[in-house]
Structure 1
Amino acid sequence: MDIKEQLRQHFLQIVSLTDEEFEYVWTHFTFKKYRKRQFLIQEGDTVKYHYWVAKGLIKSSYTDESGKEHILQFAMEDWWISDYQALYNHSPASLTVDCIEDSEVLALSDEDRQKLTREIHAFSNFFLQKKNGGYVGLQQRILLLLFKNPRERYERLQQLQPRLLQRVPKVLLASYLGVSRESLSRLYQGEL
């Protein structure tokens, strides 16, 4: 399936767009290809785009003052990613968004997203649904980090995203779960 059809199917999971509406929406996306370890966004950048992942695996992270990386999100095929605080507040990026695998994305500027949501009701509904789902996912992630032990966090991720566990290097997975690399090894061995 080509990338245009992938995007059409992605929209159809939530809303119906006419062929004319989809063709119009399609003209607002820009195809971008990135290599493993290449940055989409670096801390301090101006952020203009929402990125939809067509192929590959991308992460967003924050590096604290001691140099420790904290992973906020992974995005694989059919997922969206950006530094939303920077994008919506027109502030410098506080996150780094980079590729774990060679990746292909479609970039949509926030300006074009706003324009399309004003012009096409179904497109507006699509982004509302995606935002709502994102807020729910973020809330669940925060609650897991606050109130669940590493074993429960790992099992929840295993239940919700088994494909992700197979693709993410263990050192990055440990950061995402908020555990050390050694603790993650013990989780894999059933010791924790």
Structure 2
Amino acid sequence: MVHPLRKHIESISKLTDEEFEHVLTHFTPVKYKKHTQLVREGDLVKQEYFVLKGCLRSYITDSTGKDFTYSFAAETWWVTEREAFTKHQPATTTVECLEDCELLALTHENRMKLGRDLWKYEHYVAEKTNLGYIALQKRLQLMITGSAKERFEQFVAQYPHLYNRVPKTMIASYLGVSRETLSRLYRK
């Protein structure tokens, strides 16, 4: 069976067995229990994570204590607090395990080393970054111009595997609607 990380990288850049083994030596396997916070607001973020198993969410909390979910991460997705990881500054968000998780952790130092050592990995990261930016741009456009129904339908179409794994209050937060509105949309 092909390692999930290798399969993910090879969707962009094909690797030899030796190249993949080199990539894998830069990662550390880690396991976290449900409800563990990988990143807390104010933390310095030293790692990004590739999800092998489990589901996580990233969210911000306003001054009244209300949470706003801005992303989820499930199998074969990457998760971290990107700005804090890249700029070496305190996190402004929280990343929490919604299920027990098995992840591959990559330090910033190892991320940079891999990019220098292996152009195929750097190409993969650049392409995934571009695709992530496009997805974020589409999500932002839909949040601005789309109705609650359109946002819900897009979420279910794009992430059908998440709908039954993630608490509905968090999906409602992600979509910018109330839990009650989400219930009405689901019944239609």
Query: Shorter-normalised TM-score: what interval?
Result: over 0.9
**Counterpart-to-counterpart distance in 1, 2:132 and 2:150:** 21
- Matching residue of 2:140: 142
Find 1:113's aligned residue among 111, 114, 123. 111
Among all aligned residue pairs of Structure 1 and Structure 2, give the percentage whose two residues are the same amino acid.
Answer: 47
- Matching residue of 2:184: 186
Q: Which whole-Å deviations, capped at 9, do the CAs of 1:113-141 have from their partners, x for residues lacking one?
A: 11111111110111001111110111111
* Matched letter for residue 157 of structure 1: F
Find 1:103's aligned residue among 94, 101, 104. 101
Shift of 1:7: 1.6
1:36-185 equivalences in 2 (<5 Å)? 36-185=34-183
- Matching residue of 2:23: 25
Report the 3-state secondary structure (helix = DSSP H, G, I; strand = E; otherwise coil) of the residue aligned with 1:167: coil
Q: How many pairs are equivalent? A: 188
**Counterpart-to-counterpart distance in 2, 1:45 and 1:86:** 8
RMSD: 1.1
**Counterpart-to-counterpart distance in 1, 2:175 and 2:58:** 14
* Matched letter for residue 129 of structure 1: E
**Counterpart-to-counterpart distance in 1, 2:45 and 2:175:** 26
Q: Which whole-Å deviations, capped at 9, do the CAs of 1:41-99 have from their partners, x for residues lacking one?
A: 11111101111000000000000111110111100000001101111111100010011
Report the 3-state secondary structure (helix = DSSP H, G, I; strand = E; otherwise coil) of the residue aligned with 1:25: helix
Displacement over 2 Å in runs of 4+: none
**Counterpart-to-counterpart distance in 1, 2:4 and 2:184:** 38
Shift of 1:167: 1.1
Shift of 1:111: 1.3
* Matched letter for residue 175 of structure 2: L
**Counterpart-to-counterpart distance in 2, 1:85 and 1:8:** 25
Provide the TM-score with structure 2 as the length reference: 0.97
**Counterpart-to-counterpart distance in 2, 1:6 and 1:136:** 23
